[in-house]
Amino acid sequence: MKIRATQAIMECLLEQGVDTVFGYPGGTILNVYDELYRYQDRIRHILTAHEQGAAHAADGYARSTGKVGVCFATSGPGATNLTTGIATAYLDSSPVVFITCNVGENLLGKDAFQEVDITGIAMPITKATFLVRDARQIPDVMRQAFAVAATGRPGPVLIDFLKNVTAADQEVDYTFIPWRENRQSESLRVLTGSHEPKKPEPDDHDIEILRQMIAQAERPLLLCGGGVVRGRAHQEFRAFAEKLDAPVAITLMGGGGFPGDHPLTTGMIGMHGSRASNVACNECDLLIAVGCRFSDRVALDPATFAAQAKIVQIDVDRAEIDKNVTTDHHIIGSARRVLTLLNEGMSQYHHPEWKARILPMRAPSAAGTDARLTPQQVLETIRQRMPRDAIVATDVGQHQMWAAKYLHFTYPGQLLTSGGFGTMGFGLGAAIGAQMGNPDKQVFHITGDGCFRMNCHELCTVEHYGLPIISVVFNNGTLGMVRQWQNLIYGKRYSQTTLDRGPDFVKLAEAYGIRGFRVRSQAEMVQALDQALAAGTGAVIDCVLDMDEMVRPMVAAGSPITDFLLS
């Protein structure tokens, strides 16, 4: 049947199971928004304060639900405001379809008002970009975009429609394709005439080689990476870890892939990794990394990383193999599929001496009863009071590392953080997306005062939609992580990191119609958090911390993983 071009966009969204989009309208995308008005009973639109907030919200929705997120923006600055969010999703393999509209065909390439080549700009930070010049392409391109975003290693895709393509007189032939679990791959097969895309099937011989390596190992270490989280392979990973009976180190992006309070967990690995994880990496004789790309924050010095071990890398993306660390063996395939095959018929191993060497090192320090408030006290208060299934979205910096260290994440999508791109300003948008996708869960936004200045305008979104997001601000009056480097490496030359300026975050929260609290002790933190949780509405808790609090441990960039600057 023939339908309006913009109607085809909406119908294709419904095909893919989309019920929520995030965005900000403008001139060139008005035809799409006009159509969205007719679909408002089936597709909910969340209006953010800024396009970057919309991008992060769609990303947070995708990470927390396992679905594909969707974000709308107009041309020019509207589209370019998405780029930080697109890059954030790309570096962390989050499936989001970004839909923009550009000037009409007659103005393309003429430097028209709010014209920009967004497909060209976004090409290096997406899995694919599409510039749609012909309305007849809409159903095919829409389905293909969702297919690419979700298939294999997930990631963002951008579609840019010329404005004339979305005009009222444009009609297209449209046939409904029912939404189903394998909808992305099926759609792509139908559209392109190619074979149905599949995740690479692990090679049986490669599986057998790893089984033999495991049988010979005396000091194995498992590394849980972001691929376990993205692939929702947490159950298979846990079964494998328990059969292997080995310590498990977790990357920042692997948070939630393996329970943080499991008896085998050694905590985070890398620059701010725990002593247990870093020493285990240095002393193990077999390192099995699942869904980990060995970034420079994990393998700080590739030449000495796991120097005593045979390194095995399991990843769905062949391009990641041997990119940062040279491996002794690798298996190409999704984390879930590879682990399923490994678990089949795997013997139960026992490594008591190895565990006795490593696991005692993970003992956390006590929170203490200091009169002044400490980061550990703040997070211990949150951990003790938050529901076990609560979602935590962070920004980037010291608070991010403290949250990863002191909070225990138990399932994929529980921790939302920008690990690859390191985006200050990610947290509140991501929290909004997570809350929209998980209305029955409590969402916490953990941030620093520097980061909060970059996204606090989204408090209007929190208030307008009645979201019970609690923002906890680690307010130390400085760009804490940068100051920490200046303190330890740059001779205490604190160049432009002191944040001796407004706003008053409590008054700011109140200006947005949200309750604000300021706390200077653990007792005040307990009282404020209890009140915020009981109210069931949005809140901001401004935690006043010492300027020179540091994240411990710390290893300098490029150094061996056990060369701790701070113990």
Length of the chain counted residue by residue: 567
Exposed/middle/buried for residue 421 (C-beta within 10 Å: 0-12, 13-18, 19+): middle
CB–CB of 300/272 below 8 Å? no
* Cα R_g (the chain), whole angstroms: 24
Contacts 24+ apart (CB under 8 A), 124-127: 125/83, 125/86, 125/87, 125/90, 125/156, 126/86, 126/90, 126/98, 126/155, 126/156, 126/157, 126/158, 127/90, 127/155, 127/156, 127/157
What would the DSSP string read from start to end of 391-414? Answer: EEEE-SSHHHHHHHHHS---STTS
CB–CB of 256/265 below 8 Å? no
Q: Which residues are catalytic?
A: 51, 113-114, 163, 481
Task: Determine the longest span between alpha carbons in the chain, in angstroms.
Answer: 74
> Distance between CA 175 and CA 498 in Å, rounded?
59
Q: Specify the DSSP element, H or E, that contains 379.
A: helix 375-385
Q: Specify the DSSP element, H or E, that contains 516.
A: strand 515-519
Exposed/middle/buried for residue 347 (C-beta within 10 Å: 0-12, 13-18, 19+): exposed
Backbone phi, psi, residue 375, to 5°: -55, -40
Instruction: List beta partners, residue 416.
Output: 393
> Distance between CA 27 and CA 103 in Å, rounded?
9
